[in-house]
Structure 1
């Protein structure tokens, strides 16, 4: 089980491997990250990956810079720390 640490909060959550992706996981844990398409096309759910690694169920079509991930199609490979933008 991987830990998901949310930067700038005191939150450290255990990622449930039954969750399809990080976006759904965060929503189920009372976070409200930005999103639109939920399929890796738009990039609205982009966030900063501070540490750790993720894998994609499907390769995102949206542009993702080094050090960023798309929550809608990523799952953690190991413990990760992410910074979710605040809007």
Structure 2
């Protein structure tokens, strides 16, 4: 299983999970339409690592770009992708720690 590093987080891609599914699962902001490599709206900038494509996608991709919907992750990756603004990592709960612990007055 590959280690995926994004602009905000590192996670392990699960077996049989597409990169797009892994990014969604971990709270990343990724645009997509087709999930098949036709539209190209999910394209991300690849900083390091290797992917392959079981079938050549119809969408144009530059040499430093990948389509997370249909690529096969071959090595650990580093991509430019950010967490959604509504994820807990981006908006920590200000009241996560009890402000008034029991026994203290």
TM, length-normalised to structure 1: 0.86
- Change in CA separation of 1:85 and 1:31 when aligned onto 2, cut-off 3 Å: closer
Q: RCO (CA 8 Å, sep 6+): is it higher in 1 or 2? A: 1
Question: In angstroms, what is the RMSD of aligned CA positions?
Answer: 1.6
Structure 1: which 5+ residue stretches go unaligned?
A: none
Stretches (4+) displaced over 6 A: none
1:13-32 matches, cutoff 5 A: 13-19=11-17, 21-32=18-29
Greater helix share, structure number: 1
Say which one has the larger Rg.
Answer: 2
Aligned residues, how many?
Answer: 83
Instruction: Assess if the C-alpha contact under 8 Å between 2:44 and 2:68 holds in 1.
Output: yes
Structure 2: which 5+ residue stretches go unaligned?
A: 84-105
